[in-house]
Amino acid sequence: MDSDCDHAGHQRVQYAPLGNASAVLPDGRVIVMGGEYNWLGNIYSNRDPVWTSLGAIYDPVANTWTPVSPPAGAGWTGTDGVGGGIGDAQSTVLADGTFLLAACCGSPDVDALFDATNLTWTGTGAPNAGDLYQDEQGYTLLPTGTY
């Protein structure tokens, strides 16, 4: 039996985040990025934080998941919470419908905007928190359209 399948022949989940960034996009799809933990299908299998930079987008009409790569550049792909990583990052959907994502553990801070049509990212020149990473913060869209 294929090692990537369970005993019933179903493909195993390789991304099962907890403490992640997520949002419903204006077109109804759901984006999920990062995760302080990646349970890999069993919530009891790994209790150690991994600050994953994996991601996916769910299309409820097609009932499909599509992998989403993390933004390119420094601060996005660390897996230990020290060298960066999305992990339990903050996010919000801006007034124009764009998904804004931060890396929890990038130092200096990094943010990126997601193009949901092309599944690509553009860096923003993140807010500067004094060269400290943005772990376990929250972004809230204010009535003025800022965050």
What are the average pLDDT values for consecutive 10-residue runs of the chain, which has 147 residues? 41 72 96 83 62 90 92 75 74 92 79 93 73 70 78
Q: State residue 73's pLDDT score.
A: 81
What residues form DSSP beta bridges with 99? 93, 114
Q: Whole-angstrom Cα distance, residue 80 to residue 57?
A: 24
Closest CA to 12 of 42, 50, 45, 51: 42
Closest CA to 64 of 21, 27, 30, 93: 30
Long-range CB contacts (within 8 A, 24+) of 4-10: none
DSSP letter assigned to residue 64: E
**Global pTM value:** 0.81
